[in-house]
Structure 1
Amino acid sequence: MKTKLQRLFLAIILVVSVLNYSSFAATEQVQAATKIEVPQATIAAKAGMAVDVETGQVLANKNSETAMPIASLTKLLSIYLVLQAVKQGKLTWNQQVTPTADVVTLSRNMELSNIPFETAKSYTVKELYEASLIYSANAAVMALADTVSGSQDKFVDAMKAQLLKWGIKDAKIVNASGMSNSFLGDARYPGTTATDENEMSARDIATVAQHLLKDYPEILDVTSQTKIDFHGTAYPTWNLMLKGESAASTDFAVDGLKTGTSDLAGDCFVGTVKKNGFRIITVILNADGQAADQQKRFTAAKTLMEGIYQNWHQVTILQRNQANKQLPTVKVSNSKQTKVSVVSGRTVTMLLPKSVKKSQLAFKLNNEDVKRNAPIKKGANLGSIQLPNIGTGYLTEEQNDSIPILAKTAVQELSWWQKAWRKITGLF
């Protein structure tokens, strides 16, 4: 008898072990199914990044958290503050600006990218704005800085404050233009040295560029121009990826944004292009290659753009009010049902690697442990889910969009006698 009981006990242990192993294996399969491999992109630079403008989704990155000298990429931030001042009515495009004597003197320094000013002559905000973007004129953006904030130092303070609003805390900002402080002499920002330059990470630069394109998309009307006529003299763009320029591509209609060059920063470039229904930003910091190669940053940007558009595409992953097997269920209390299925409250699109299927996506329910009380009407808002992270996610956590979810069906509340019976049985 004892032997039979031992055999029975061993058989039960064996069955339970098999069931547990099956459950474990199934879990492993689910985990393996949700692991998404993303295509690797080539970034021929010390640091760089590619992001989707609309969502901030990161499509490629290399050393993207490391702060590095950025030279005239600084002007993207400075111009953001100029456009903000125009929008707020603090500046007008036709407003006349008379550069200070110091700015006029600096404008005549041809070691720098500059358009020389005449003493005591005025220029419109629009002229200085276009000169800053197209020819990267350092004195032009400094004249705008004085006009916006009253002084160079106060404008630098405004630049720092704007970065903090965007959650950028590791940037180093010492002037409005991005040139080395050595050119500013005694007019340097307090506490800085002659060797200081502005420094930001590729992620920081991508964040600035995204805000600029989303808040002021009209900037592309200027950054797509290949030259500026400034009081009778033509000055060419430094962006050789624009249509008709030497580094232009027939595959990509690049229409911005900004170059940057210095001994410390190397050759830098923030490019943007729209193709296949979505616009991206590419950041190249200190491009790889020979110093004499004037196109290495554009070659790096082109390779990165090609990699993104070859390997990624825009996909509708959720349809409004349509069921989807990948959506989680929501816990329900005060009902015979313990869970209720949900549908998306809106149609959702995102960029996916072309090798990834929608069935591989996993959606995380916010507040998944919270139960919803019956009765629940069909279509009732039951909370939200997060977009799945593909690769390295998004520029900021806030950009991982929250998607509302709605009850797929109605859920009936327990009757009074069912509630009473539950209380009675609960006592035992």
Structure 2
Amino acid sequence: MNTKRLYILPLAFAFAIAATSLFPSPAALAAPHAKSAAPKKHPAAAPAAAPAAGQTAVAGGAPALAARSWLLMDFDSGEVLASSNPDEPLPPASLTKMMTSYLVEQALRSGKLKKEDLVTVSQNAWCRGSGTESCMYLPLNAQATVIDILRGIIIQSGNDASKAIAEHMAGSEEGFAKLMNAEAKRLGMTHTNFVNATGLPDPAHKASARDLAILARAIIRDSTEYYPIYSEREFKYNNIKQGNRNALLYTDPTVDGLKTGHTDEAGYCLVTSSKRNGMRLITVILNTSSAQARADQTRALLGWGFSNFEKATPIQPNAVVGTAKVSFGKAETVGAGLGTPWTVTVPRGQPVQTSVQLKPDLEAPVTKGAVIGKVVASSNGKPVGEAPLVAQADVERSGLMLLAWQHVTKWFGK
């Protein structure tokens, strides 16, 4: 099925795609993302659905994208700004490797792994170089450092790298999948089930667009030391140079990640992050018809998002927005305000309203900076974010005589 492109792709994009052909070996050029080497038992899945507009708070609606599922998320708040079919579990192909790389990054952060640790390439992990799957081209029974493996997963989308690190960390790919699912549950990915570390097709291996955006947000937030790898355009290992398949890295300087994916079952998929003028947006495109279509649609969604949303500051950091009653303290009240600067992302030009919720049963002692409530921001009747409110001063507990009197007056309701 042919899909209508949202607009003509700039000539620079065509040059960028052509340039990537200078990087891989002939075998790598032929390799689809996570395509199984086994003969096909069924015909390829149908291309993406016809263009359909998504849900959004913006007047006039969201763009129509020819993808089975798509989503636009604000990074700072995690708020979904627009989406279509965001919770359907779909084959994620090599987008799976975002969870594989995330687990590696967190193990590096915690010290469970070190960058120079050596990972052995087993017979099971080894890619034979047949051109039927994405490979880092690690030699059989050789060893590679964890940091090279990580680059091989992110940039080269190596199935061999993903399997090797899975076996290194969990003893087997099956054991690693259990770690993946545990982490997915911790992050709140409620429509995801991982069976392997690569994204190779399996009927039980699924993820939703919303879940993949949650994962992308976690990578950007938690893996600050390693996140720049997601924007690297090429990586050379074993004398084979391969280019990053995320075409937007070559044409849009505001894009700095994250991952592409493709199998016959999954179609062409892309998770992207872009930061412009202090606002970062995350996009997910699932099951579209071609590598160019996933780039076109991502570019269109980012352009629409940055044009239709803006950052707003509902409350200034030093403002006292409420007064909480304090029982059994030397002071009867304490001011409530923000502990850190707070912004929300709202439809451009729409006013923001706030409502304050303070703890009703606050008792002394209260420490300055302690959370004593929250403030909720809404726009056009829809919540767009919330932030904790903290005590603006210490409140000491009353002395014995005053404390006794306060207990008596509280008892009689005076």
Q: Name the TM tier (shorter chain).
A: 0.7 to 0.9
- In structure 2, the CA distance between the partners of 1:137 and 1:37, relative to structure 1 (3 Å rule), is closer
1:63-82 matches, within 5 Å, as 63-82=85-104
Partner SS, residue 303 of structure 2: helix
Within 5 A, what are the aligned runs for 1:414-425? none
User: Residue 16 of structure 1 corresponds to which residue in structure 2?
Assistant: none
Amino acid at match of 2:277: N
Which residue of structure 2 lines up, in the alignment, with residue 238 of structure 1? 245
Q: CA deviation at 1:401?
A: 3.1
Partner residue of 2:158? 137
Q: How does 1:405-420 map to 2 (within 5 A)?
A: none
Q: State the partner residue of 2:353.
A: 361
For residues 204 and 130 of structure 2, the distance between their equivalents in structure 1, rounded to whole angstroms, comes to 18
Q: Is the 8 A contact 1:382 1:405 kept in 2?
A: yes
Could you tell me which of 306, 310, 316 is aligned with 2:307? 310
Q: What corresponds to 1:267 in structure 2? A: 268
Which position in structure 2 is the counterpart of 1:38? 58
> What's the CA shift for 1:46?
1.8
Q: 1:260 to 1:328 in 2, by over 3 A?
A: same
TM-score by length of 2: 0.72
| Aligned counterpart in structure 2 of residue 215 of structure 1, from 222, 226, 251 | 222
Partner amino acid, structure 2, of 1:134: I
Verify the 8 A CA contact 1:254 1:272 in the aligned structure 2: yes
Between structures 1 and 2, the one with greater helix share:
1
Q: Deviations over 1:103-136 (max 9, x none)?
A: 22x4434211123333322222222211111121
1-structure distance, mates of 2:139, 2:369: 67
What does 1:31-180 correspond to in 2, within 5 Å?
37-39=57-59, 40-42=61-63, 44=65, 45-104=67-126, 106-180=127-201
How far apart are the structure 2 equivalents of 1:73 and 1:332?
50
In structure 2, do the counterparts of structure 1 residues 176 and 342 end up closer, same or farther at CA, with 3 Å as the change threshold?
Answer: closer
- Compute the RMSD of aligned alpha carbons: 3.9
2:314–2:354 contact (8 Å) kept in structure 1: no
Greater mean deviation of Cα atoms: 255-264 or 115-124? 115-124
Q: 1:81 to 1:37 in 2, by over 3 A?
A: closer
In 2, the alpha carbon distance for the partners of 1:155 and 1:281 equals 26
Going from structure 1 to structure 2, the CA distance change for 1:99 and 1:343 (only over 3 Å counts) comes to closer
Q: Contact 1:223/1:256 (CA < 8 Å) preserved in 2?
A: yes
Structure 1 contact 179–197 (Cα < 8 Å) conserved: no
> What is the aligned partner in structure 2 of residue 184 from structure 1?
none
1:280: which partner in 2?
Answer: 281
Query: Cα distance 1:340–1:283, how it changes in 2: closer, same or farther (>3 A)?
Result: same
Equivalenced residues, count: 350
Unpaired segments of 5 or more residues in structure 2? Answer: 1-55, 394-401
- Unaligned residue ranges in structure 1 (runs of 5+): 1-35, 182-195, 408-414
Identity %: 29
Structure 1 position 366, deviation (Å): 4.3
Provide the TM-score with structure 1 as the length reference.
Answer: 0.70
**Contact 2:88/2:191 (<8 A) preserved:** no
Tell me the amino acid that sits aligned with residue 91 of structure 1. L
1:204 partner letter: D
TM-superposed CA distance for 1:352, in Å, is 2.2
Q: Distance in 2 between matches of 1:267 and 1:57?
A: 25
- The CA deviation string for residues 242-281 of structure 1, in whole angstroms up to 9 with x for no partner, is 13xxxx23xx521110001111211111001111112221
Alignment partner of 1:403 is 2:389: yes
Q: Which is higher, the Rg of structure 1 or of structure 2?
A: 1
